[in-house]
Structure 1
Amino acid sequence: MTGPVSRPSRRLVLGWGAAGLLGAGALAACSDSAPTAPAGPSSSTPVPSTSATPARPDYVGDQRGVALCAALSALAASLYSGAVVAAGDGRLGQVPGVVTAFLSGAGAQHTEHAAAWNALLTAAGRPAVSGTPLSVETERRATLGRAAAPTDLLSVAVDVEASVGATVLARAGEFTDARAAALAATVAPVAAMHGATAAFLLGRPTGVTPGPAGAAVGLDALLL
């Protein structure tokens, strides 16, 4: 390309969801209407007590990739929140202010990204992803829990950003809805920027190949 390409502002990214992204196209929702129940038994017949388990959301087509990105962004935000708490509780020693500021800022942007992905789902009539329903969650939280120094927090950040970026780029190549692809194209450079910043603070080259924790997360990791 011959010149810089302006990226949509964060407000614009979040605005896409409210404008009805992924409407009746590739993210068209399946009907959630429950079938009409048959007539119940007479009042003289005892009715057994049952406890119904809510059905999991049925994300189909592009919706599943969007749900994965929403869950991963939410997990990234949660990990950064935990890192900020660890930085402030004293157990890691003196954490430089620039590190805490980076962790807080990056976490806030991942929170906004999760909201933007969820806006695509709700605009299509599907439920937003709640929490962080990913099979990789336990292992990634355990890695953060093992942090013993400020550099460990930054190492977690490097892996988080590499994983988010790789996952979003992988999904971008599969999205059939142009606006989902556009959101992916906005989120991926932000993840790359965060990763480069964390690597710089660690004194690492920014082009180092990430480890397993920095790999793309597949659709099979989504527990929905």
Structure 2
Amino acid sequence: MIHRNRQNQENGNKKGATMEISEAELNARIVELDEIHHDVSLPALQEGAKDWADEVARERSQVEARSRVNRRTFLLGVGATVGAGALLAACGASSSATKASSSSTTPTLSASTLSDLHVAALAASLENLGVYAYTAGINAAKAGKLGAVPPAVVVFAETARAQHKEHGAAWNAILRASGKPAVTVTDPVLTPVVNKDFASVSNTVDLAKLALEIEDIAGETYLSAVGVLAQPIAIRTAASIEPVEMQHSAILNFILGTYPVPNAFEPTTLARSTSDYPKL
């Protein structure tokens, strides 16, 4: 199981399979979460994602314009070579053709942009994993497979899932603007682990523990990304999501009866590495 050895989480785990917060308290936390998301974090995310997508689209347009110029240069060089015939051959046409050919190489997006897009792809796969896990939990709860699940827990899961969907949509909008395909898969490294862990989920507390692990990984990955991303607009986008993941974690800690802010400073020991995600 993916976990961190936290004393307060271990203490909460010993309290059994019952929720350690009243439904009224949980519903109040959900309302606060949704209000902050729609009033503050989501507008900031959408603005940042749009600005980043526009910036990447402009760079892509410039790249394509340079590519067209290089192709024209290459074709003109080929035409001159054909017209000059044997004369150019005698004067070293092969060398000229090599130079023309090399100038026709299609330029790519800058290294910093590609690196940032790599982070965007990883983030999208993590958001997809959140949607996937919450959907599995919601379906299991509604099917009666987890025993008596308080309705407020399902409401929280549906709220968190909706927010993960919105985060994933923002990342994929940026990828599409860059000419890259949208990421529709779940995190390729974590998915089999989550599937294995979910097979052992039998009650509300088990479900909350698994969700907390996923949310902690997501939050720490975004915090780590802030130090990895190169472009200010990319940093702003990631920074607008990280607090939402931490809010999810705080509510899940409430459900488990553990302290909602277990660390004075959020660590990054669980952060996902972009090297695990296939190159774009």
State if a TM-score over 0.5 links the two structures: yes
Over the aligned positions, Cα root-mean-square deviation in angstroms equals 2.8
Aligned mates of 2:119, 2:61 — CA distance in 1:
14
Q: Which runs of 5+ in 1 are unaligned?
A: 1-6, 34-58
The alpha carbon displacement at 1:124 in A equals: 2.0
Going from structure 1 to structure 2, the CA distance change for 1:107 and 1:17 (only over 3 Å counts) comes to same
Match of 1:110 in 2: 164
Going from structure 1 to structure 2, the CA distance change for 1:29 and 1:62 (only over 3 Å counts) comes to farther
One-letter amino acid of the counterpart of residue 45, structure 2: V
Aligned mates of 1:72, 1:111 — CA distance in 2:
11
Contact 1:14/1:119 (<8 A) preserved: no
One-letter amino acid of the counterpart of residue 195, structure 2: R
Match of 1:49 in 2: none
Cα-to-partner distance string for 1:90-131 (whole Å, 9 max, x where unaligned):
121110011111111001101110111111212222221122
Aligned mates of 2:245, 2:212 — CA distance in 1:
9
Aligned mates of 1:10, 1:208 — CA distance in 2:
25
Is 1:163 the counterpart of 2:163 in the alignment? no
**TM-score normalised by length of structure 2:** 0.61
Cα-to-partner distance string for 1:123-155 (whole Å, 9 max, x where unaligned):
222221122242121111221221011111111
Aligned mates of 2:150, 2:56 — CA distance in 1:
45
Q: 1:91 aligns with which of 145, 152, 161?
A: 145
Aligned mates of 2:62, 2:191 — CA distance in 1:
27
Aligned mates of 2:60, 2:221 — CA distance in 1:
19
Aligned mates of 2:249, 2:187 — CA distance in 1:
23
Cα-to-partner distance string for 1:175-214 (whole Å, 9 max, x where unaligned):
11222111111110000000000110111112446xxxx8
Is 1:13 the counterpart of 2:45 in the alignment? yes
**TM-score normalised by length of structure 1:** 0.75
The alpha carbon displacement at 1:162 in A equals: 0.5
Match of 2:110 in 1: none
Q: 1:216 aligns with which of 248, 252, 271?
A: 271
The alpha carbon displacement at 1:9 in A equals: 4.4
Match of 2:119 in 1: 65
Percent of paired sites with the same residue: 30
Contact 1:162/1:192 (<8 A) preserved: yes
Cα-to-partner distance string for 1:27-48 (whole Å, 9 max, x where unaligned):
99987x9xxxxxxxxxxxxxxx
Q: 2:257 aligns with which of 185, 203, 206?
A: 203
Structure 2 counterpart SS, 1:197? helix
Match of 2:56 in 1: 23
Cα-to-partner distance string for 1:31-75 (whole Å, 9 max, x where unaligned):
7x9xxxxxxxxxxxxxxxxxxxxxxxxx93111111111111111
One-letter amino acid of the counterpart of residue 148, structure 1: S
One-letter amino acid of the counterpart of residue 130, structure 2: A
Match of 1:130 in 2: 184
Match of 2:133 in 1: 79
Contact 1:22/1:120 (<8 A) preserved: no
Aligned mates of 2:224, 2:202 — CA distance in 1:
33
Going from structure 1 to structure 2, the CA distance change for 1:29 and 1:14 (only over 3 Å counts) comes to farther
Structure with the higher fraction of residues in helix conformation: 2
Aligned mates of 1:177, 1:152 — CA distance in 2:
39
Match of 2:95 in 1: none
Contact 1:71/1:129 (<8 A) preserved: yes
**Count of aligned pairs:** 189
